[in-house]
Amino acid sequence: MDDVIFIDKPAGMTSFGVVARIRRVLSKEKGKKVKVGHTGTLDPFATGLTIVVVGAECKNASFYTKLDKVYEATILLGKSSTTGDIEGEITEVSDTVPDIARIEAVLTKFRGKILQSPPIFSAIKINGRRAYKLARSGQEFEMPKRQVEIYDLEIIDYKYPELKVRTHVSSGTYIRSLAVDIGEALGVGAYCSELRRISINKWHVDNAQTLKDMGIDD
């Protein structure tokens, strides 16, 4: 029971929801409550690799959290979202269609070490309170910028308004913020409409199991 479990998280479920379901199954098998945790949240609308730690392995959760990650994302150009993703309030920004050369030029600005402002709707704590709770209550606050590193950022496909990219990033990088920043740099607005975590360090989502594989249907 002291182990790690690699899960391909489905859309529409929080990382905490994944943990709760696995804890329920393992605790039932063991006949007692089993300690289970995750190693970094993945937004509810996102899918992909989630590392779940069990039992004594929970003490090593921070090790997995700090590892580099690879994502594939669809960035919707021309609109903005209050949350940087599909769950926010969507606003039309521009009907300008950037050409591929313009997009490539903008992406070069985001490769390497950059300063990034995390989304206000995130689990980061501001003076002891979660940012998303402050945002939902209507309180105004400033998100501190943090340095992150984008090792690689490439275009997979582009058919306006959808820009599909693959990016290899350091721990702490928010792809929602990256999408918004790319939209601002292009002058057209953007948000992340689809997000999938492909790998964490050497572990790939192709080798992960689904919740259904574990007998979890809800």
Task: Name the token pair of 167.
Answer: 């990016």
Dihedral of CA atoms 87, 22, 197, 43 in degrees, nearest 10, equals 20
Of the listed 2, 3, 8, 43, which one is catalytic? 43
Torsional class of 173: left (φ above 0), alpha (ψ -120 to 50), beta (otherwise): beta
Pairing verdict, β 190-200 and 47-54: parallel
Alpha carbon of residue 203 to chain centroid:
16
For the question of residue 43 being annotated catalytic, the response is yes
* 122 φψ region: left (φ > 0), alpha (ψ -120 to 50), beta (else): beta
Residues classed as catalytic:
43
